[in-house]
């Protein structure tokens, strides 16, 4: 740049270095995500025939194909929230998106670990990676140990992503009224999240196989009926 230009004297990384930095950042986020146990959680093997999950299933697929705004899933244990969240992460990664999938208590542990003497990454760097991830998927909000430090870190993450309108997925088995008010206020902003999905489904793990089969059969028959009606 010529002398007098606003960028004169500024250092800029070359394009190859920028690409390498983004690659390493993506790999670090994938390692933090620890998706190994969830690689089999896909939309294809999600049982969409279970009563009460159809809306969440459709919205999760839509988000995975076009990650914009916030997707928020509330529901009890075993209703499919984590499966859908992991399916979103797996679909986004398959489409070469930058994703961080993390259970909220594990996320806070990752941040705390940076204060240890053997940490290979500093707190500021790790915190920036988390709050600025291309897509952040936070599973089980509300299960963390709600210390003042934890509450403040979570608020900072939510506030940053709210201000910059970064795509985010949040699941929780708590009642919305039990979420920290500053965070809930941002989660319920209609400009960012037009609908909070409440999954009204029984615990899939405790539902007898025969009952699940019957629900799946009824769901299939309903879909076929709608398809015939549209034909």
At 189, which CATH number?
3.40.50.300
Of the ranges 60-74, 87-101, 193-207, which one carries the lowest mean pLDDT score? 193-207
- Quick one: DSSP state of residue 190? T
Residue 2 in domain: no
Q: What is the pLDDT of residue 15?
A: 67
pLDDT band at 210 (very low <50, low <70, confident <90, very high): very low
User: Does the pLDDT value for residue 179 go beyond 90?
Assistant: yes
CA atoms within 13 A on the CB side of 145: 6
Residue 88 is assigned to a structural domain of this protein: yes
Length of the chain in residues, anyone? 231
What's the pLDDT score for residue 61? Answer: 98
Tally of domains within the chain = 1
* Residue (of 185, 166, 198) closest to 70 by Cα position: 166
Residue 34 has pLDDT above 70, yes or no: yes
CA separation for the pair 221, 215 (Å, rounded): 10
Q: Which residues pair with 169 in a beta bridge?
A: 71, 137
In the predicted model, is pLDDT for residue 222 greater than 60? Answer: no
**What values do phi and psi take at 27, rounded to 5?**
-65, -40
Domain of 153? 24-230
Whether 78 is covered by a domain: the verdict is yes
Provide the 3-class DSSP secondary structure of residue 48: coil
Whether residue 144 lies inside any domain: the answer is yes
Q: How much is the pLDDT for 11? A: 78
CA–CA dist 180, 74 (Å, integer)? 15
Q: What is the DSSP letter of 124?
A: H
In a domain? residue 13: no
Residue 5 lies in a domain: no
pLDDT at 220: 46
Residue 3 in any domain: the answer is no
CB 150 within 8 A of CB 122: no
User: 12 in a domain, yes or no?
Assistant: no
Reported pTM: 0.81
**Please, which pLDDT band fits residue 231 given cuts at 50, 70 and 90?**
very low
């Amino acid at each position: 740049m010529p002398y007098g230009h606003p960028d004169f004297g500024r250092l800029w990384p070359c394009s190859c270095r920028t690409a390498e930095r983004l690659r390493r950042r993506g790999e670090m986020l994938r390692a933090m995500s620890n998706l190994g146990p969830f690689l089999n959680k896909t939309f294809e093997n999600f049982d969409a025939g279970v009563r009460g999950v159809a809306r969440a299933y459709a919205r999760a697929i839509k988000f995975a194909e076009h990650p914009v705004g916030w997707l928020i899933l509330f529901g009890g244990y075993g209703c499919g929230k984590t499966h859908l969240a992991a399916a979103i992460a797996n679909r986004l990664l398959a489409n070469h998106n930058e994703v961080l999938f993390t259970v909220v208590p594990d996320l806070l542990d990752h941040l705390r670990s940076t204060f240890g003497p053997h940490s290979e990454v500093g707190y500021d760097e790790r915190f920036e990676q988390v709050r600025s991830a291309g897509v952040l998927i936070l599973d089980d909000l509300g299960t963390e140990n709600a210390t003042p430090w934890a509450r403040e870190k979570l608020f900072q993450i939510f506030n940053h992503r709210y201000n910059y309108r970064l795509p985010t997925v949040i699941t929780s088995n708590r009642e919305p009224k039990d979420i920290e008010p500053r965070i809930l206020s941002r989660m319920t902003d209609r400009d960012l999240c037009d609908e909070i999905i409440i999954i009204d489904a029984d615990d899939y793990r405790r539902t007898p196989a025969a009952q699940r089969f019957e629900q799946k059969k009824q769901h299939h028959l309903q879909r076929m009926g709608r398809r015939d009606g549209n034909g």
